[in-house]
Amino acid sequence: MSDHSATVDHKADDHGHAAAHGSMFDHVKVYLIIGALLFIFTAITVALSYIDFDKIGLFIWAFDKIGVHGFAINIVIGMIVATFKVCLVGAWFMHLKQETKEIWRPLLFTFFFVTALFLLFVFAYSDPIPGSVHWHH
Amino acid sequence: MAHDHAHDAHGHHDDHGHDDHHELGFWRKWVFSTDHKVIGMQYTVTGLAFLFFGFCLMMLMRWTIAQGGATPLPGTLGSLMHTIFGDNVFVEVVKDGVKGYTLSSQGYNVFGAMHGTIMVFFGIVPIAMAGFGNFVMPLQIGAVDMAFPRLNMASFWSFFISCIFMVASFFVPGSAAKSGWTNYPPLAGIADLPGSVDAYGDLLGVWTNGGTLWLLGMVFNITGSLLGSINFITTIVQLRAPGMTWGRLPFFCWAQFITAYLLLLAFPPLESAAVMNLFDRVFGSSFFQPTGLVVTQGGTAAGLVPQYSGGGSPILWQHLFWFLAHPEVYVLILPGIGMITEIIACNTRKPIWGYKAMVGALFVLAFLSFIVWAHHMYMTGMGPKVSAFFQTTTIMISVPSVILLTALLLSLWGGSIRFNTPMLFATAFLPMFGIGGLTGIPLAFNAIDLFMHDTYYVIAHFHYVVAPGTIFAIFAGCYHWYPKATGRFMSEFLGKVHFWGSLVSINVLFFPMFLQGMAGVHRRWWDGGLTYANTVPQQYLDMNHTVSYGAWALGLFQLVFIFNFFYSIFRGKKIPNDNPWNATTVEWDTPTPPPHGNFIKPIVVYRAAYEYSVPGAEKDFTPQTEPPAGTPPPPPPAH
Amino acid sequence: MEIPYTVRPRPDTGLANPKLGIWLFLASEVMLFGGLFAGYIFMRLGSDPWMWPKGWLNVPVGTFNTFVLIASSVTVILAWESLKMRNLKMYKIWLFITFMCGLLFLGIKLSFEWPAKFGHFGAYIQKEVAHKYEPALGNEDRVEDGKVFDGHLKRKGYPRLFIGGHLTEKKDDPYALDASSVPFVPEANLDAVLALGKDEKDPAKKAKLLHTREVTLKGIVVRPADIAELNKEPLDPAKKKEILQRMNTIHFHKLDEANGRPYDPANDRPKFELRPQFVDSHLVLDKRDLIAGHGPLVPKLNTYLATYFMITGLHGAHVLAGCICFIYFWLPIKGGAKLFHTNPEQLCNRIEVSGLFWHLVDLIWIFVFPIFYLL
Structure letter (DSSP) for residue B71: S
Same domain, yes or no: C313 and C267: no
Task: Give the pLDDT score at C182.
Answer: 35
Of C21, C35, C303, nearest to B286 by CB-CB distance is C303
Task: Give the pLDDT score at A110.
Answer: 94
Do B201 and C217 count as a contact with CB atoms less than 8 A apart?
yes
Identify the domain containing residue C242 by its residue range: 185-246
Q: Residue C369 sits in a domain of what CATH number?
A: 1.20.120.80
Same domain, yes or no: C230 and C158: no
The span from the CA of C373 to the CA of C117, in Å, is 13
Do B261 and A109 count as a contact with CB atoms less than 8 A apart?
yes
The span from the CA of B527 to the CA of B521, in Å, is 12
Could you tell me which chain B residue has the CA closest to the CA of A130? Answer: B383
Do A135 and B269 count as a contact with CB atoms less than 8 A apart?
no
H helices within chain C, ranges in order?
A: 17-46, 59-84, 88-108, 114-118, 134-137, 175-179, 190-195, 203-211, 213-217, 224-231, 237-247, 255-258, 303-330, 339-342, 344-369
Same domain, yes or no: A32 and A74: yes
Closest CA to B448 of B431, B467, B461: B461
Task: Show residues of chain A in contact with C70, CB under 8 Å.
Answer: 35, 38-39, 42
- Indicate the number of domains in chain A: 2
Q: Which of C6, C28, C126, C305 to mutate to test the interface with B (most CBs of B within 10 A)?
A: C28
Neighbour subunits, C (≥3 Cβ pairs < 8 A) = A, B
Task: Give the pLDDT score at C278.
Answer: 38
Same domain, yes or no: C189 and C236: yes
Distance from CA of B321 to the nearest CA of A (A): 12
Residue type, B181: W
Same domain, yes or no: A92 and A111: no
Of B290, B371, B383, nearest to A136 by CB-CB distance is B290
Same domain, yes or no: C149 and C216: no
CB of B544 within 8 A of CB of B510? Answer: no
Kindly state whether B631 is in contact with chain A, defined as any CB-CB distance less than 8 angstroms: no
Give A118's pLDDT tier (boundaries 50, 70, 90). confident
Once rounded to an integer, what is the mean pLDDT over residues B503-507?
97
Instruction: Check whether B57 has a pLDDT greater than 70.
Output: yes
Q: Which of B10, B12, B198 to mutate to test the interface with C (most CBs of C within 10 A)?
A: B198
Residues 53-82 of A with CB under 8 A from C: 54, 70-72, 74-75, 78-79, 81-82
The span from the CA of B112 to the CA of C120, in Å, is 44
Task: Give the pLDDT score at C1.
Answer: 76
Could you tell me which chain C residue has the CA closest to the CA of A75? Answer: C375
Same domain, yes or no: A84 and A32: yes
Kindly state whether B382 is in contact with chain A, defined as any CB-CB distance less than 8 angstroms: yes
To 5 degrees, how large is the angle CA B298–CA B300–CA B306? Answer: 70
Of C10, C25, C31, nearest to B238 by CB-CB distance is C10
Same domain, yes or no: C105 and C209: no
Do A102 and C369 count as a contact with CB atoms less than 8 A apart?
no
ipTM value? 0.93
Separation of CA B549 from chain center: 24
Give A20's pLDDT tier (boundaries 50, 70, 90). very low
| Stronger pLDDT, A18 or B556, i.e. the higher one | B556
Task: Show residues of chain B in contact with A121, CB under 8 Å.
Answer: 316, 319
Task: Give the pLDDT score at C247.
Answer: 60
Could you tell me which chain B residue has the CA closest to the CA of C42? Answer: B316
CB of B491 within 8 A of CB of B564? Answer: yes
Once rounded to an integer, what is the mean pLDDT over residues B65-71?
90
Task: Show residues of chain C in contact with B273, CB under 8 Å.
Answer: 35, 39
Task: Give the pLDDT score at A26.
Answer: 82
Question: Is C11 inside a domain boundary?
Answer: no
Taken in order A95, A97, A102, A108, the sign of the CA dihedral is positive
Which residues contact residue A117 at a Cβ distance below 8 angstroms, ignoring those fewer than 6 apart? Answer: B269, B323, C31, C34, C35, C38
CB of C247 within 8 A of CB of C85? Answer: no
Q: Which of C3, C315, C356 to mutate to test the interface with B (most CBs of B within 10 A)?
A: C3
Closest CA to C17 of C30, C2, C28, C1: C2
Distance from CA of C214 to the nearest CA of B (A): 7
Kindly state whether C276 is in contact with chain B, defined as any CB-CB distance less than 8 angstroms: no
Same domain, yes or no: C236 and C275: no
Task: Show residues of chain C in contact with A78, CB under 8 Å.
Answer: 370-371, 374-375
Of B11, B148, B198, nearest to C1 by CB-CB distance is B11
The span from the CA of C371 to the CA of B603, in Å, is 54
3-state secondary structure of C124: strand
Q: Give the pLDDT confidence of B222-262 residue by residue, as tens digits.
A: 999 999 999 999 999 999 999 999 999 999 999 999 999 99
Asked which of A12-21, A72-81, A99-108, C242-251 is least confident by mean pLDDT, the reply is: A12-21
Do B381 and A128 count as a contact with CB atoms less than 8 A apart?
yes
The span from the CA of A120 to the CA of B381, in Å, is 15
Identify the domain containing residue A130 by its residue range: 99-137
3-state secondary structure of B639: coil
Same domain, yes or no: C86 and C192: no
Instruction: Check whether B579 has a pLDDT greater than 90.
Output: yes
Same domain, yes or no: A86 and A114: no
Do A136 and B313 count as a contact with CB atoms less than 8 A apart?
yes
Same domain, yes or no: C114 and C31: yes
Task: Show residues of chain B in contact with A128, CB under 8 Å.
Answer: 381, 383
Same domain, yes or no: A53 and A108: no
The span from the CA of C176 to the CA of C169, in Å, is 7
Do A82 and C85 count as a contact with CB atoms less than 8 A apart?
no
Task: Show residues of chain A in contact with B265, CB under 8 Å.
Answer: 109-110, 113
Percent above pLDDT 90 for chain A: 42
CB of B269 within 8 A of CB of B320? Answer: yes
The span from the CA of B125 to the CA of C158, in Å, is 49
Task: Give the pLDDT score at B485.
Answer: 95
Do B320 and C39 count as a contact with CB atoms less than 8 A apart?
yes
Block means of pLDDT (10 residues each) for chain C, 375 residues, are: 90 93 96 94 80 82 96 96 94 96 96 82 76 65 46 48 60 37 42 61 62 39 62 75 64 41 40 34 62 77 92 97 96 92 93 96 96 90
Kindly state whether B371 is in contact with chain A, defined as any CB-CB distance less than 8 angstroms: yes
Mean pLDDT over the full length of chain A: 79
Task: Give the pLDDT score at A67.
Answer: 82
CB of B379 within 8 A of CB of B450? Answer: yes
Task: Show residues of chain B in contact with C217, CB under 8 Å.
Answer: 200-203
The span from the CA of A124 to the CA of B316, in Å, is 10
The span from the CA of A31 to the CA of B541, in Å, is 72
Do C73 and A38 count as a contact with CB atoms less than 8 A apart?
yes
End-to-end C-alpha distance for chain C, whole angstroms? 55
Q: Assign residue B628 a region: left if phi > 0, alpha if psi is -120 to 50, beta otherwise? A: beta
Same domain, yes or no: A22 and A86: yes
Task: Give the pLDDT score at C186.
Answer: 43
Cα torsion for C110, C111, C114, C116, to the nearest 10°?
Answer: 180
Structure letter (DSSP) for residue B27: I
The span from the CA of B573 to the CA of B583, in Å, is 19
Could you tell me which chain B residue has the CA closest to the CA of C15? Answer: B238
Task: Show residues of chain B in contact with C34, CB under 8 Å.
Answer: 268-269
Do B230 and C28 count as a contact with CB atoms less than 8 A apart?
yes
Same domain, yes or no: A53 and A86: yes
Same domain, yes or no: A69 and A31: yes
Task: Give the pLDDT score at B290.
Answer: 86
Kindly state whether A121 is in contact with chain B, defined as any CB-CB distance less than 8 angstroms: yes
Same domain, yes or no: C44 and C110: yes
Same domain, yes or no: A115 and A50: no
SS (H, E, C) C144-156: ECCEECCCCCCCC
Q: Give the pLDDT confidence of B307-350 residue by residue, as tens digits.
A: 778 888 898 999 999 999 999 999 999 999 999 999 999 999 99
Task: Give the pLDDT score at B575.
Answer: 95
- Indicate the number of domains in chain C: 3
Q: Give the pLDDT confidence of B140-178 residue by residue, as tens digits.
A: 999 999 999 999 999 999 999 999 999 999 999 888 998
Could you tell me which chain B residue has the CA closest to the CA of C184? Answer: B307
Same domain, yes or no: C88 and C232: no
The span from the CA of A65 to the CA of A80, in Å, is 17
Same domain, yes or no: A23 and A62: yes
Q: CA separation (Å) from B84 to B102, B167, B175? A: 13, 12, 11
Same domain, yes or no: A73 and A122: no
Do C13 and A100 count as a contact with CB atoms less than 8 A apart?
yes
Do B261 and A128 count as a contact with CB atoms less than 8 A apart?
no
Residues 304-323 of C with CB under 8 A from B: 305-307, 309-310, 314
Asked which of A54-58, B515-519, B618-622, C359-363 is least confident by mean pLDDT, the reply is: A54-58
Question: Is C7 inside a domain boundary?
Answer: no
Closest CA to B250 of B146, B349, B144, B340: B340
Do B238 and C15 count as a contact with CB atoms less than 8 A apart?
yes
Residues 148-207 of C with CB under 8 A from B: 183-184, 186, 188-189
Same domain, yes or no: C160 and C276: yes
Helix (H) and strand (E) counts for chain A? Answer: 5, 0
Task: Give the pLDDT score at C122.
Answer: 75
CB of A49 within 8 A of CB of A82? Answer: no
| Stronger pLDDT, A132 or B67, i.e. the higher one | B67
The span from the CA of C105 to the CA of C118, in Å, is 19
Distance from CA of C188 to the nearest CA of A (A): 28
Do A89 and C344 count as a contact with CB atoms less than 8 A apart?
no
Same domain, yes or no: C147 and C53: no
Same domain, yes or no: A44 and A74: yes
Task: Show residues of chain A in contact with C15, CB under 8 Å.
Answer: 100, 102-103
C314 backbone dihedrals φ, ψ, rounded to 5°: -65, -40
3-state secondary structure of B605: coil
The alpha-carbon radius of gyration of chain A (Å, integer) is 23
Do A118 and C31 count as a contact with CB atoms less than 8 A apart?
no
3-state secondary structure of B590: coil
Distance from CA of C343 to the nearest CA of B (A): 17
Q: Assign residue B605 a region: left if phi > 0, alpha if psi is -120 to 50, beta otherwise? A: beta
- Ranked by mean pLDDT, the top range of A68-82, B381-395, C78-92 is C78-92
Q: Mind listing the domains of chain B with CATH numbers?
A: 39-288+316-571 (1.20.210.10)
